Amino acid sequence: MTQRSMLAGRNPNVVIRAGGDVRVEGRDSDRVLADTDSRWGLKVERRSESEIARARARVGDHVLFDMRLNVRNPLKKGPRGEVTEVQIGGSGKVYVPLGSDVTVYTGKNAEVQDIQGSVTVYAGLDARVRGVRTLVQVSAGGSLDFECEQVAGDDVKFTAGRDLRCSIRSLTDAEFMIDDLGGYWEGIIGQGRTKIRLEAGGDVTLVTDQEITSRPPYDVLGKVERPNAASDVSG
C-alpha cells in the first residue's frame, strides 16, 4: 500500500482526482491522508486555487469549465487561497479534516461522508454522500444517493444516469422540479423559496419529514419517503 499525507489545517480546500473508486471521509485532524493499493500512482501536493482551475481548463471544454467554477465553496468569501490536491491513478481512500471543502472527480464510484464543510462530486459511475453539511453539486453517471444538511444556493441541480435518492435535512421551504423515468413532476414544501432540480435516468426518491404537495398543472407526485435516522445518517 502506498500512503501520503500533508498538513492542511482544520478548514482546507481539498481537490481529489481518482481514476478508479474513491472513498473520502472526514475526521478530527489537521492533515490530509491518502492511500491506495493501486500501482497507478498517488500524489498529494499544495497548489493555488487559480492554478487548479487553469490546469483543468486546458484539457477540455464544457465539463471542465464547470469544474473551474466549483473549485471552491461558493459560500466562502474573500481572496483565493491554497488547495491541497490529491491525485490517485487507480482506486483509493482519502481522509480529510472535518471542516474541509471537498471537490471530488472520479472515473468510477465515489463515496463521501462526515464533512462539515462543503462537498462537490463528479462521478463516472455511482455516488453516495452521507453526513455532509453543505452540498454544492453532485453529478453521477450511475446511481446517486445523497444526504446533507443543506444545499449551497437558492437554485441547485443534481443529476444521475440511473436512480437518484435525495435527502436534505434542513429543507423547509423548497420547490422540487423532477424529471425521471416516469416523466416530469413537481412538488413544493412551504413557499418553495429554494429551487431543487433533479434529473435521473431511473427513478427519483425524495426523503423528507416535511409535508410535500403537488404543483399544478401536473397534480402528481412521485416517490416520497419519510427519513430513517439510522439509514440516512450512517447507512
Say what the pTM is: 0.84
User: pLDDT tens for residues 16-52?
Assistant: 999 999 999 999 999 999 999 988 889 999 987 766 5
Handedness of CA 53, 98, 120, 124 (dihedral sign): positive
Percent of the chain with pLDDT over 90: 74
CA distance 156 to 83: 24
Percent of the chain with pLDDT over 70: 83
Phi and psi at residue 51, to the nearest 5°: -65, -40
Region 80-106: what's the mean pLDDT?
93
User: pLDDT tens for residues 53-88?
Assistant: 544 433 333 333 334 434 455 545 434 578 999 999
CA distance 177 to 132: 22
What pLDDT, on a 0 to 100 scale, did the predictor assign at position 219? 84
What pLDDT, on a 0 to 100 scale, did the predictor assign at position 52? 57
User: pLDDT tens for residues 124-172?
Assistant: 999 999 999 999 999 999 999 999 999 999 999 999 999 999 999 999 9
In the predicted model, what is the mean pLDDT of the chain?
86
Residue 134 CB burial class (10 angstroms; 0-12, 13-18, ≥19) = buried
Comparing CA positions, the residue from 175, 198, 179, 205 lying closest to residue 188 is: 175
The residue behind cell 464510484 is 109
CA distance 37 to 149: 33
One-character DSSP codes across 58-80:
TT-SHHHHHHHHTSS-TT--SS-
Greater pLDDT, 51 or 181: 181
